[in-house]
C-alpha cells in the first residue's frame, strides 16, 4: 500500500479547506473499513487522508421537518439510537444485520453511502424513507435525494472538493410501516446477495397512500421498483396485490451473476422477498 500523509482536522471547515486545496489527491477517511482495503488493492492511491473523526459530524438532532444524522456516526451508534429505532425502524433492522460488532464500531453511515457499493446495507432503508443528503464544500452546500446520488457501482455525484456531512430523514416518513430484509450466505459478516426495504403508508380508509420498494445488489446502483410501487398506491393491501407487485419488481431489477449469487437466484429471490417484506410491513397494523 502506498503511504499517504494523514491529517486529522479538528473542525469541519478545516477539513473542507484541505479538500478544497488538494481535490482528488485527498481522500476523506471515516472508519476506513472500505477505504483501506481499496488502498491495499491499489484501486485508490490518495496522497493525503483527511480523517473526519474530530470534525463534529457525529450528532443526531431533530429540526422542524427532519431527523438530521451526522455522516460520521458509526453503525453501532445508529443501532443504539432509540429515536432512530422508534421513528425509522428499517434502518435499525439494517444495522442489526450489518457485519459484526468490531466492524460496526468503526464503519460509518457516511462511508456506507459514499463507497457506493450496490450491496450497501444502509442505503435501501435510507432511500425507502426518502432520505436527503447534504454535501458541503468550502464554497457552499447542496442537498439532494439520496436515490439520485449514485451513478454506477462505486460512482456518485460527489465532487472532488465535497464532503458528505449529513443525512436528513423526513419526519413525514417516520413511523410508517416498513421492513428490511438482507439475504446473505451467512447470518453475520457477509455482504448482501440482495437487500431490500419496503415502506407503506396507509390512510384512514386503509388504502395505501405511499409505497416504497427499494432494492440493493440487484443492479449497478440501489434502485426503487417504481412500477411495482405504483401498483400499490390507492389500493387496499392484500396477499394478491403484494404477489402481483412482487412479480412486477422482479421485472424491474437488473441483477448480474457474481461470486455471491447468480442472476437467476437474485431474480427469483427478489420476487419472494418483496412479497414477504410487504406482508411484514403491514403485519402490525
Using CB under 6 A, list all residues that contact ligand FAD: 27-35, 52, 71, 98-99, 103, 106-108, 110-112, 114-115, 120-121, 163-164, 189, 191
Nearer to ligand FAD, 185 or 268 (CB): 185
Nearer to ligand FAD (CB atom), residue 117 or residue 198:
117
Q: How would DSSP label each residue in 119-187? A: T-TTHHHHHHTT-EEEEEETTEEEEEEGGGSEEETTEES--TT-EEEEEEEEGGGTTSEEEEEEE-SSS
Closest approach of Cβ 171 to ligand FAD, in Å? 23
Cell numbers at residue 245, please?
407487485
- Closer by beta carbon to ligand FAD, 144 or else 189: 189
* Distance of closest approach, residue 72 Cβ to ligand FAD, in angstroms: 6
Which residues is 228 bridged to in the sheet?
Answer: none
Containing 111, the helix (H) or strand (E) segment is helix 109-114
Beta-bridge mates of residue 67: 62, 169
Residue 56: CB minimum distance to ligand FAD, A: 12
Q: Which is nearer to ligand FAD, 33 or 201 (CB)?
A: 33
Q: How far lies 85's CA from each of 37, 82, 175, 178, in Å?
A: 31, 5, 10, 12
Q: How far is the CB of 102 from ligand FAD (least distance, A)?
A: 8
Which DSSP helix (H) or strand (E) runs through 281?
helix 263-281
Q: Could you tell me which residues are beta bridge partners of residue 109?
A: none
CA-CA-CA-CA torsion sign (237, 238, 240, 243) = positive
Closest distance between ligand FAD and the C-beta of residue 121, in Å?
A: 4
Decide whether 118 or 208 has the Cβ nearer to ligand FAD: 118
Minimum CB separation from ligand FAD for residue 57, in Å? 6
**Vertex 108: Cα angle to 252 and 216 (nearest 5):** 10
Separation of alpha carbons 112 and 164, rounded Å = 11
Q: Which is nearer to ligand FAD, 97 or 209 (CB)?
A: 97
Tell me the residue number closest to ligand FAD, measured at CB: 111
Kindly tell me which of 77 and 121 has the beta carbon lying closer to ligand FAD.
121
- Comparing CA positions, the residue from 174, 210, 221, 216 lying closest to residue 197 is 216
Least CB distance to ligand FAD at residue 136 (A): 9
Amino acid at each position: 500500500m502506498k503511504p499517504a500523509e494523514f491529517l486529522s482536522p479538528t473542525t469541519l471547515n478545516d477539513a473542507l479547506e484541505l479538500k478544497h486545496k488538494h481535490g482528488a489527491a485527498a481522500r476523506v477517511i471515516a472508519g476506513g473499513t472500505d477505504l483501506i482495503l481499496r488502498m491495499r488493492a491499489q484501486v485508490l492511491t490518495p496522497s493525503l487522508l483527511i480523517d473526519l473523526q474530530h470534525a463534529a459530524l457525529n450528532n443526531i438532532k431533530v429540526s422542524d421537518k427532519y431527523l438530521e444524522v451526522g455522516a460520521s456516526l458509526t453503525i453501532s451508534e445508529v443501532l443504539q439510537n432509540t429515536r432512530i429505532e422508534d421513528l425509522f425502524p428499517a434502518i435499525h433492522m439494517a444495522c442489526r444485520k450489518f457485519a459484526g460488532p468490531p466492524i460496526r464500531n468503526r464503519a460509518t453511515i457516511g462511508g456506507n453511502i459514499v463507497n457506493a457499493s450496490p450491496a450497501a446495507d444502509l442505503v435501501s432503508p435510507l432511500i425507502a424513507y426518502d432520505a436527503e443528503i447534504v454535501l458541503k464544500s468550502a464554497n457552499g452546500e447542496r442537498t439532494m435525494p439520496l436515490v439520485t446520488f449514485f451513478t454506477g457501482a462505486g460512482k456518485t455525484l460527489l465532487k472532488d472538493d465535497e464532503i458528505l456531512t449529513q443525512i436528513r430523514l423526513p419526519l413525514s416518513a417516520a413511523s410508517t410501516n416498513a421492513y428490511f430484509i438482507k439475504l446473505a450466505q451467512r447470518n453475520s459478516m457477509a455482504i448482501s446477495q440482495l437487500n431490500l426495504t419496503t415502506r407503506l403508508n396507509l390512510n384512514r380508509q386503509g388504502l395505501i397512500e405511499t409505497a416504497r420498494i427499494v432494492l440493493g445488489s440487484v443492479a449497478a446502483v440501489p434502485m426503487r421498483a417504481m412500477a411495482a410501487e405504483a401498483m400499490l398506491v390507492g389500493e387496499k393491501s392484500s396477499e394478491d396485490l403484494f404477489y402481483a407487485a412482487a412479480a412486477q419488481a422482479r421485472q424491474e431489477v437488473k441483477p448480474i451473476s457474481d461470486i455471491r449469487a447468480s442472476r437467476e437466484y437474485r431474480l427469483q429471490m427478489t420476487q419472494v422477498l418483496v412479497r414477504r417484506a410487504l406482508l411484514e410491513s403491514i403485519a402490525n397494523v
